[in-house]
Structure 1
Amino acid sequence: MLPMTILMVCVAYLCGSLSSAVIICRLYGLPDPRTTGSQNPGATNVYRLGGRVPAALVLVMDILKGTIPVYCSYWLDIAPVYLGLVAIGACLGHIFPLYFGFKGGKAVATAFGAMLPVGLELAGLLIVSWFIGLFIWGYSSLAAILAVALAPLFTWFIKPDYTLPVAMLALLIIVRHKANIQRLLSGTEPRVWDKRGKLKNDR
Protein backbone atom coordinates (compact mmCIF):
# COMPACT_ATOMS: atom_id res chain seq x y z
CA MET A 1 0.00 0.00 0.00
CA LEU A 2 2.84 2.42 0.81
CA PRO A 3 4.50 2.12 -2.64
CA MET A 4 1.11 2.69 -4.31
CA THR A 5 0.51 5.73 -2.10
CA ILE A 6 3.91 7.20 -2.97
CA LEU A 7 3.25 6.57 -6.66
CA MET A 8 -0.13 8.31 -6.53
CA VAL A 9 1.30 11.27 -4.61
CA CYS A 10 3.88 11.68 -7.39
CA VAL A 11 1.19 11.32 -10.08
CA ALA A 12 -0.95 13.89 -8.28
CA TYR A 13 1.97 16.32 -8.11
CA LEU A 14 2.66 15.92 -11.83
CA CYS A 15 -1.04 16.46 -12.62
CA GLY A 16 -1.13 19.53 -10.39
CA SER A 17 1.96 20.89 -12.12
CA LEU A 18 -0.04 21.40 -15.31
CA SER A 19 -0.66 25.11 -14.89
CA SER A 20 -4.12 25.53 -16.41
CA ALA A 21 -3.92 29.32 -16.39
CA VAL A 22 -0.65 29.43 -18.31
CA ILE A 23 -1.77 26.79 -20.82
CA ILE A 24 -5.14 28.43 -21.50
CA CYS A 25 -3.60 31.89 -21.78
CA ARG A 26 -1.14 30.60 -24.36
CA LEU A 27 -3.92 28.93 -26.34
CA TYR A 28 -5.95 32.16 -26.34
CA GLY A 29 -2.96 34.40 -27.03
CA LEU A 30 -3.29 36.15 -23.66
CA PRO A 31 -0.48 37.57 -21.51
CA ASP A 32 1.28 35.28 -19.06
CA PRO A 33 -0.87 35.36 -15.88
CA ARG A 34 2.26 34.93 -13.77
CA THR A 35 3.60 38.32 -14.85
CA THR A 36 0.38 40.22 -15.63
CA GLY A 37 -2.47 41.49 -13.49
CA SER A 38 -2.26 40.08 -9.97
CA GLN A 39 0.50 37.72 -11.19
CA ASN A 40 -1.47 34.81 -9.77
CA PRO A 41 -2.05 31.99 -12.29
CA GLY A 42 -5.65 31.35 -11.35
CA ALA A 43 -9.12 31.63 -12.83
CA THR A 44 -9.79 35.11 -11.39
CA ASN A 45 -6.70 36.65 -12.96
CA VAL A 46 -7.44 34.91 -16.28
CA TYR A 47 -10.95 36.36 -16.12
CA ARG A 48 -9.46 39.85 -16.02
CA LEU A 49 -7.09 39.06 -18.85
CA GLY A 50 -9.39 37.20 -21.21
CA GLY A 51 -12.95 37.04 -19.97
CA ARG A 52 -15.35 34.32 -18.91
CA VAL A 53 -14.59 31.45 -21.29
CA PRO A 54 -10.84 31.19 -20.63
CA ALA A 55 -11.46 31.66 -16.91
CA ALA A 56 -14.10 28.92 -16.88
CA LEU A 57 -11.73 26.54 -18.67
CA VAL A 58 -9.01 27.28 -16.13
CA LEU A 59 -11.41 26.71 -13.25
CA VAL A 60 -12.59 23.34 -14.61
CA MET A 61 -9.06 22.17 -15.34
CA ASP A 62 -7.84 23.22 -11.89
CA ILE A 63 -10.68 21.30 -10.24
CA LEU A 64 -10.00 18.17 -12.33
CA LYS A 65 -6.32 18.27 -11.36
CA GLY A 66 -7.39 17.58 -7.80
CA THR A 67 -10.33 15.29 -8.49
CA ILE A 68 -8.77 12.79 -10.91
CA PRO A 69 -5.76 11.62 -8.85
CA VAL A 70 -7.78 11.47 -5.62
CA TYR A 71 -10.62 9.55 -7.29
CA CYS A 72 -8.11 7.10 -8.80
CA SER A 73 -6.49 6.64 -5.39
CA TYR A 74 -9.91 6.08 -3.84
CA TRP A 75 -10.70 3.29 -6.32
CA LEU A 76 -7.27 1.77 -5.62
CA ASP A 77 -8.43 1.39 -1.99
CA ILE A 78 -5.81 3.74 -0.60
CA ALA A 79 -6.62 4.51 3.04
CA PRO A 80 -8.43 7.81 3.77
CA VAL A 81 -5.51 9.38 5.63
CA TYR A 82 -3.22 8.71 2.66
CA LEU A 83 -5.77 10.19 0.29
CA GLY A 84 -4.99 13.44 2.08
CA LEU A 85 -1.37 13.09 1.02
CA VAL A 86 -2.45 12.52 -2.58
CA ALA A 87 -4.63 15.64 -2.42
CA ILE A 88 -1.77 17.65 -0.95
CA GLY A 89 0.47 16.37 -3.74
CA ALA A 90 -1.95 17.74 -6.35
CA CYS A 91 -2.13 21.10 -4.57
CA LEU A 92 1.64 21.32 -4.19
CA GLY A 93 1.90 20.70 -7.91
CA HIS A 94 -0.41 23.67 -8.51
CA ILE A 95 1.49 25.86 -6.05
CA PHE A 96 4.96 24.78 -7.23
CA PRO A 97 4.46 23.51 -10.81
CA LEU A 98 7.35 21.43 -12.08
CA TYR A 99 6.81 22.46 -15.69
CA PHE A 100 6.40 26.20 -15.12
CA GLY A 101 9.31 27.35 -12.99
CA PHE A 102 7.70 26.34 -9.68
CA LYS A 103 5.62 29.53 -9.74
CA GLY A 104 1.95 28.69 -9.23
CA GLY A 105 -1.26 29.81 -7.62
CA LYS A 106 -3.08 29.33 -4.33
CA ALA A 107 -4.66 25.95 -5.23
CA VAL A 108 -8.17 26.70 -3.94
CA ALA A 109 -9.90 25.19 -6.99
CA THR A 110 -7.54 22.20 -6.96
CA ALA A 111 -8.22 21.62 -3.27
CA PHE A 112 -11.94 21.84 -3.95
CA GLY A 113 -11.56 19.22 -6.65
CA ALA A 114 -9.57 17.00 -4.31
CA MET A 115 -12.42 17.13 -1.79
CA LEU A 116 -15.09 16.15 -4.33
CA PRO A 117 -14.60 12.39 -3.77
CA VAL A 118 -15.83 12.91 -0.19
CA GLY A 119 -19.27 13.62 -1.63
CA LEU A 120 -21.46 16.18 -3.36
CA GLU A 121 -22.81 17.23 0.04
CA LEU A 122 -19.40 18.58 1.00
CA ALA A 123 -19.00 20.27 -2.37
CA GLY A 124 -22.36 22.00 -1.99
CA LEU A 125 -21.61 23.16 1.55
CA LEU A 126 -18.23 24.56 0.49
CA ILE A 127 -19.77 26.48 -2.42
CA VAL A 128 -22.53 27.88 -0.20
CA SER A 129 -19.98 28.85 2.47
CA TRP A 130 -17.84 30.64 -0.11
CA PHE A 131 -20.79 32.60 -1.50
CA ILE A 132 -22.00 33.54 1.99
CA GLY A 133 -18.54 34.75 2.95
CA LEU A 134 -18.24 36.71 -0.27
CA PHE A 135 -21.70 38.26 0.18
CA ILE A 136 -21.03 39.32 3.78
CA TRP A 137 -17.47 40.63 3.50
CA GLY A 138 -16.80 41.07 -0.22
CA TYR A 139 -13.36 39.43 -0.09
CA SER A 140 -12.78 36.38 -2.27
CA SER A 141 -9.73 35.36 -0.24
CA LEU A 142 -11.61 35.57 3.06
CA ALA A 143 -14.50 33.59 1.58
CA ALA A 144 -12.06 30.88 0.46
CA ILE A 145 -10.39 30.77 3.88
CA LEU A 146 -13.80 30.50 5.55
CA ALA A 147 -14.89 27.66 3.26
CA VAL A 148 -11.74 25.56 3.72
CA ALA A 149 -11.71 26.22 7.47
CA LEU A 150 -15.23 24.80 7.69
CA ALA A 151 -14.42 21.84 5.42
CA PRO A 152 -13.13 19.52 8.21
CA LEU A 153 -16.26 20.24 10.29
CA PHE A 154 -18.56 19.49 7.37
CA THR A 155 -16.60 16.32 6.61
CA TRP A 156 -16.95 15.14 10.20
CA PHE A 157 -20.72 15.06 9.80
CA ILE A 158 -20.68 13.61 6.26
CA LYS A 159 -17.84 11.05 6.25
CA PRO A 160 -15.88 11.16 9.54
CA ASP A 161 -13.10 8.88 8.22
CA TYR A 162 -12.01 11.65 5.86
CA THR A 163 -11.86 14.43 8.44
CA LEU A 164 -8.08 14.21 8.95
CA PRO A 165 -7.10 14.31 5.26
CA VAL A 166 -9.51 17.19 4.63
CA ALA A 167 -8.06 19.03 7.64
CA MET A 168 -4.54 18.52 6.24
CA LEU A 169 -5.63 19.97 2.93
CA ALA A 170 -7.45 22.89 4.57
CA LEU A 171 -4.35 23.79 6.60
CA LEU A 172 -2.22 23.90 3.44
CA ILE A 173 -4.65 26.26 1.69
CA ILE A 174 -4.90 28.57 4.71
CA VAL A 175 -1.10 28.75 4.99
CA ARG A 176 -0.95 29.53 1.27
CA HIS A 177 -3.19 32.54 1.96
CA LYS A 178 -0.73 34.02 4.46
CA ALA A 179 -0.19 37.17 2.40
CA ASN A 180 -3.95 37.64 1.98
CA ILE A 181 -4.47 37.24 5.72
CA GLN A 182 -1.84 39.90 6.39
CA ARG A 183 -3.55 42.28 3.96
CA LEU A 184 -6.94 41.55 5.53
CA LEU A 185 -5.59 42.39 8.97
CA SER A 186 -3.97 45.58 7.72
CA GLY A 187 -7.06 46.61 5.75
CA THR A 188 -5.26 46.63 2.40
CA GLU A 189 -6.85 43.55 0.82
CA PRO A 190 -8.96 44.61 -2.19
CA ARG A 191 -12.60 43.60 -2.34
CA VAL A 192 -13.89 41.44 -5.15
CA TRP A 193 -15.36 44.08 -7.45
CA ASP A 194 -13.93 47.48 -8.27
CA LYS A 195 -15.98 50.40 -9.55
CA ARG A 196 -16.10 48.86 -13.02
CA GLY A 197 -17.51 45.62 -11.64
CA LYS A 198 -14.46 43.55 -12.54
CA LEU A 199 -12.94 41.02 -10.19
CA LYS A 200 -9.94 42.38 -8.33
CA ASN A 201 -9.05 39.67 -5.86
CA ASP A 202 -7.65 36.22 -6.50
CA ARG A 203 -8.71 32.97 -4.93
Structure 2
Amino acid sequence: MNTLLITLAAYLIGSISFAVVVTRLLGMADPRTYGSKNPGATNVLRSGNKAAAALTLLGDALKGLVPVWWVQQYGMDYGIGDNGVALVALAVFIGHLWPVFFRFVGGKGVATALGVLIGLNGWLGLATLVTWLVIAYAFRYSSLAALVAAVFAPFYYGLLFGTDIKLLAVLVMSGLLVYRHRKNIANLIAGKESRIGSKKK
Protein backbone atom coordinates (compact mmCIF):
# COMPACT_ATOMS: atom_id res chain seq x y z
CA MET A 1 0.00 0.00 0.00
CA ASN A 2 2.81 2.42 0.87
CA THR A 3 4.49 1.77 -2.48
CA LEU A 4 1.23 2.47 -4.31
CA LEU A 5 0.65 5.71 -2.39
CA ILE A 6 4.15 7.08 -2.89
CA THR A 7 4.03 6.14 -6.59
CA LEU A 8 0.74 8.02 -7.00
CA ALA A 9 2.15 11.00 -5.10
CA ALA A 10 5.20 10.99 -7.37
CA TYR A 11 2.98 11.03 -10.46
CA LEU A 12 1.01 14.00 -9.10
CA ILE A 13 4.22 15.88 -8.29
CA GLY A 14 5.49 15.16 -11.79
CA SER A 15 2.24 16.54 -13.21
CA ILE A 16 3.10 20.05 -12.01
CA SER A 17 4.27 21.85 -15.17
CA PHE A 18 6.65 24.54 -14.00
CA ALA A 19 6.85 26.05 -17.49
CA VAL A 20 3.14 26.86 -17.28
CA VAL A 21 3.20 27.82 -13.59
CA VAL A 22 6.23 30.13 -13.86
CA THR A 23 5.05 31.91 -17.01
CA ARG A 24 1.59 32.47 -15.52
CA LEU A 25 3.04 33.90 -12.32
CA LEU A 26 5.27 36.23 -14.33
CA GLY A 27 2.46 37.30 -16.67
CA MET A 28 4.16 35.82 -19.73
CA ALA A 29 2.74 34.07 -22.77
CA ASP A 30 1.90 30.40 -22.35
CA PRO A 31 4.90 28.41 -23.69
CA ARG A 32 2.44 26.01 -25.30
CA THR A 33 1.52 28.76 -27.78
CA TYR A 34 4.92 29.54 -29.36
CA GLY A 35 8.17 27.98 -30.51
CA SER A 36 8.04 24.22 -30.21
CA LYS A 37 4.90 24.58 -28.05
CA ASN A 38 6.64 22.37 -25.53
CA PRO A 39 6.14 23.34 -21.86
CA GLY A 40 9.80 23.11 -20.93
CA ALA A 41 12.77 25.32 -20.06
CA THR A 42 14.24 25.38 -23.57
CA ASN A 43 11.02 26.69 -25.07
CA VAL A 44 10.53 29.22 -22.26
CA LEU A 45 14.04 30.48 -23.08
CA ARG A 46 12.75 31.33 -26.56
CA SER A 47 10.64 34.04 -24.93
CA GLY A 48 13.87 35.85 -24.12
CA ASN A 49 13.25 35.66 -20.37
CA LYS A 50 16.28 33.80 -19.00
CA ALA A 51 15.07 34.01 -15.39
CA ALA A 52 11.80 32.30 -16.28
CA ALA A 53 13.68 29.59 -18.15
CA ALA A 54 16.01 29.06 -15.19
CA LEU A 55 13.10 28.81 -12.75
CA THR A 56 11.37 26.32 -15.04
CA LEU A 57 14.52 24.23 -15.30
CA LEU A 58 15.02 24.27 -11.53
CA GLY A 59 11.41 23.40 -10.76
CA ASP A 60 11.24 20.54 -13.27
CA ALA A 61 14.54 19.12 -12.04
CA LEU A 62 13.63 19.36 -8.35
CA LYS A 63 10.28 17.63 -8.84
CA GLY A 64 12.20 14.68 -10.28
CA LEU A 65 14.94 14.76 -7.68
CA VAL A 66 13.00 15.16 -4.42
CA PRO A 67 10.59 12.16 -4.59
CA VAL A 68 13.33 9.80 -5.80
CA TRP A 69 15.86 11.04 -3.24
CA TRP A 70 13.28 10.74 -0.44
CA VAL A 71 12.26 7.18 -1.27
CA GLN A 72 15.93 6.21 -1.66
CA GLN A 73 16.74 7.61 1.79
CA TYR A 74 13.61 6.74 3.77
CA GLY A 75 11.67 4.19 1.73
CA MET A 76 12.93 1.20 3.69
CA ASP A 77 11.37 2.67 6.85
CA TYR A 78 8.00 2.21 5.15
CA GLY A 79 8.71 -1.12 3.50
CA ILE A 80 9.56 0.42 0.12
CA GLY A 81 12.54 -1.25 -1.56
CA ASP A 82 14.25 -0.95 -4.93
CA ASN A 83 11.08 -1.88 -6.80
CA GLY A 84 9.36 1.09 -5.18
CA VAL A 85 12.26 3.39 -6.03
CA ALA A 86 12.04 2.32 -9.68
CA LEU A 87 8.27 2.92 -9.71
CA VAL A 88 8.61 6.36 -8.15
CA ALA A 89 11.31 7.31 -10.67
CA LEU A 90 9.08 6.32 -13.57
CA ALA A 91 5.93 7.82 -12.05
CA VAL A 92 7.34 11.30 -11.56
CA PHE A 93 8.81 11.25 -15.07
CA ILE A 94 5.58 10.01 -16.65
CA GLY A 95 3.71 12.69 -14.70
CA HIS A 96 5.80 15.31 -16.46
CA LEU A 97 5.18 13.78 -19.88
CA TRP A 98 1.45 13.24 -19.38
CA PRO A 99 0.33 15.53 -16.53
CA VAL A 100 -3.15 15.01 -15.14
CA PHE A 101 -3.40 18.73 -14.29
CA PHE A 102 -2.82 19.84 -17.89
CA ARG A 103 -4.99 17.43 -19.90
CA PHE A 104 -2.11 14.97 -20.20
CA VAL A 105 -0.10 17.33 -22.44
CA GLY A 106 3.34 17.78 -20.92
CA GLY A 107 6.96 18.43 -21.71
CA LYS A 108 9.68 16.21 -23.09
CA GLY A 109 11.19 15.40 -19.72
CA VAL A 110 14.84 16.41 -19.97
CA ALA A 111 15.09 18.41 -16.74
CA THR A 112 12.87 16.00 -14.82
CA ALA A 113 14.89 13.03 -16.05
CA LEU A 114 18.07 14.74 -14.86
CA GLY A 115 16.47 15.28 -11.46
CA VAL A 116 15.49 11.63 -11.27
CA LEU A 117 19.04 10.53 -12.13
CA ILE A 118 20.54 12.82 -9.49
CA GLY A 119 18.01 11.44 -7.01
CA LEU A 120 19.16 7.92 -7.82
CA ASN A 121 22.83 8.86 -7.52
CA GLY A 122 24.71 12.14 -7.72
CA TRP A 123 27.53 10.72 -9.85
CA LEU A 124 25.02 9.26 -12.28
CA GLY A 125 23.31 12.62 -12.63
CA LEU A 126 26.62 14.45 -13.00
CA ALA A 127 27.88 12.14 -15.73
CA THR A 128 24.65 12.56 -17.67
CA LEU A 129 24.64 16.33 -17.19
CA VAL A 130 28.24 16.64 -18.42
CA THR A 131 27.27 14.62 -21.51
CA TRP A 132 24.38 17.00 -22.17
CA LEU A 133 26.58 20.07 -21.67
CA VAL A 134 29.34 18.82 -23.98
CA ILE A 135 26.95 18.04 -26.84
CA ALA A 136 24.92 21.23 -26.30
CA TYR A 137 28.06 23.38 -26.30
CA ALA A 138 29.51 21.65 -29.36
CA PHE A 139 26.37 21.62 -31.53
CA ARG A 140 23.97 24.16 -29.94
CA TYR A 141 21.02 21.79 -30.18
CA SER A 142 19.22 21.06 -26.91
CA SER A 143 17.36 18.14 -28.44
CA LEU A 144 20.52 16.48 -29.76
CA ALA A 145 22.17 16.88 -26.36
CA ALA A 146 19.13 15.33 -24.69
CA LEU A 147 19.10 12.38 -27.07
CA VAL A 148 22.79 11.64 -26.60
CA ALA A 149 22.49 11.98 -22.82
CA ALA A 150 19.45 9.67 -22.84
CA VAL A 151 21.42 7.01 -24.69
CA PHE A 152 24.36 7.26 -22.30
CA ALA A 153 22.39 7.39 -19.02
CA PRO A 154 21.63 3.63 -18.86
CA PHE A 155 25.23 2.90 -19.81
CA TYR A 156 26.46 5.07 -16.94
CA TYR A 157 24.06 3.39 -14.54
CA GLY A 158 25.17 -0.09 -15.57
CA LEU A 159 28.81 0.92 -15.29
CA LEU A 160 28.31 2.29 -11.78
CA PHE A 161 25.82 -0.19 -10.30
CA GLY A 162 25.39 -3.16 -12.63
CA THR A 163 21.99 -4.51 -13.61
CA ASP A 164 18.99 -4.18 -11.33
CA ILE A 165 15.37 -3.00 -11.38
CA LYS A 166 16.43 0.65 -11.25
CA LEU A 167 18.45 0.19 -14.43
CA LEU A 168 15.25 -1.00 -16.08
CA ALA A 169 13.54 2.19 -14.93
CA VAL A 170 16.37 4.28 -16.40
CA LEU A 171 16.11 2.35 -19.69
CA VAL A 172 12.36 2.94 -19.90
CA MET A 173 12.80 6.60 -19.04
CA SER A 174 15.49 6.98 -21.71
CA GLY A 175 13.28 5.25 -24.27
CA LEU A 176 10.36 7.56 -23.48
CA LEU A 177 12.61 10.60 -23.72
CA VAL A 178 13.79 9.55 -27.17
CA TYR A 179 10.16 8.89 -28.19
CA ARG A 180 9.13 12.37 -27.05
CA HIS A 181 11.88 13.83 -29.22
CA ARG A 182 10.78 12.05 -32.40
CA LYS A 183 9.81 15.34 -34.09
CA ASN A 184 13.13 16.85 -33.11
CA ILE A 185 14.90 13.87 -34.64
CA ALA A 186 13.08 14.51 -37.92
CA ASN A 187 13.94 18.22 -37.73
CA LEU A 188 17.59 17.45 -37.01
CA ILE A 189 17.77 15.17 -40.04
CA ALA A 190 16.06 17.82 -42.19
CA GLY A 191 18.26 20.63 -40.83
CA LYS A 192 15.25 22.50 -39.43
CA GLU A 193 15.86 22.15 -35.70
CA SER A 194 16.04 25.37 -33.67
CA ARG A 195 19.29 26.08 -31.89
CA ILE A 196 19.63 26.92 -28.20
CA GLY A 197 18.76 30.57 -27.56
CA SER A 198 16.82 31.14 -30.78
CA LYS A 199 13.85 33.46 -30.33
CA LYS A 200 10.22 32.41 -30.51
CA LYS A 201 8.36 32.76 -33.78
TM-score, normalising length: structure 2: 0.88
Which residues of structure 2 form unaligned runs of 5+? none
* Deviates further, 182-191 or 90-99: 182-191
Shift of 1:144: 0.5
Distance in 2, Cα, partners of 1:152 & 1:34: 30
- Identical columns (%): 41
Q: What is the aligned partner in structure 2 of residue 186 from structure 1? A: 190
Q: What is the aligned partner in structure 2 of residue 126 from structure 1? A: 128
Q: What is the aligned partner in structure 1 of residue 12 from structure 2? A: 14
Q: What is the aligned partner in structure 2 of residue 115 from structure 1? A: 117
Q: What is the aligned partner in structure 2 of residue 138 from structure 1? A: 140
* Deviates further, 55-64 or 117-126: 117-126
Of residues 165, 172, 187, the one that matches 1:168 is 172
Distance in 1, Cα, partners of 2:128 & 2:87: 20
Q: Which amino acid aligns with 1:102?
A: F
Q: What is the aligned partner in structure 1 of residue 64 from structure 2? A: 66
| 1:81–1:165 Cα contact (<8 Å) kept | no
Aligned residues: 194
What RMSD, in angstroms, separates the aligned Cα atoms of the two structures?
1.9
* Deviates further, 110-119 or 69-78: 69-78
| 1:15–1:65 Cα contact (<8 Å) kept | yes
Shift of 1:22: 0.7
Of residues 97, 100, 103, the one that matches 2:99 is 97
| 2:64–2:119 Cα contact (<8 Å) kept | no
Q: What is the aligned partner in structure 2 of residue 157 from structure 1? A: 159
Shift of 1:200: 5.8
| 2:129–2:149 Cα contact (<8 Å) kept | yes
Which residues of structure 1 form unaligned runs of 5+? 193-197
Shift of 1:111: 0.9
Shift of 1:23: 0.7
Shift of 1:50: 4.9
**SS of structure 1 residue aligned to 2:32:** coil
**SS of structure 2 residue aligned to 1:6:** helix
CA-to-aligned-CA distance 1:142-199 (integer Å, 9 cap, x gap)? 111111110111111222243222212211211111111222233322333xxxxx33
CA-to-aligned-CA distance 1:37-72 (integer Å, 9 cap, x gap)? 321111122222251211111111101111122122
Distance in 2, Cα, partners of 1:122 & 1:22: 29
Q: What is the aligned partner in structure 2 of residue 46 from structure 1? A: 44
Distance in 1, Cα, partners of 2:188 & 2:35: 20
TM-score, normalising length: structure 1: 0.87
Shift of 1:136: 3.2
Q: What is the aligned partner in structure 2 of residue 199 from structure 1? A: 198
**SS of structure 2 residue aligned to 1:34:** helix
* Deviates further, 13-22 or 134-143: 134-143
**SS of structure 2 residue aligned to 1:190:** coil
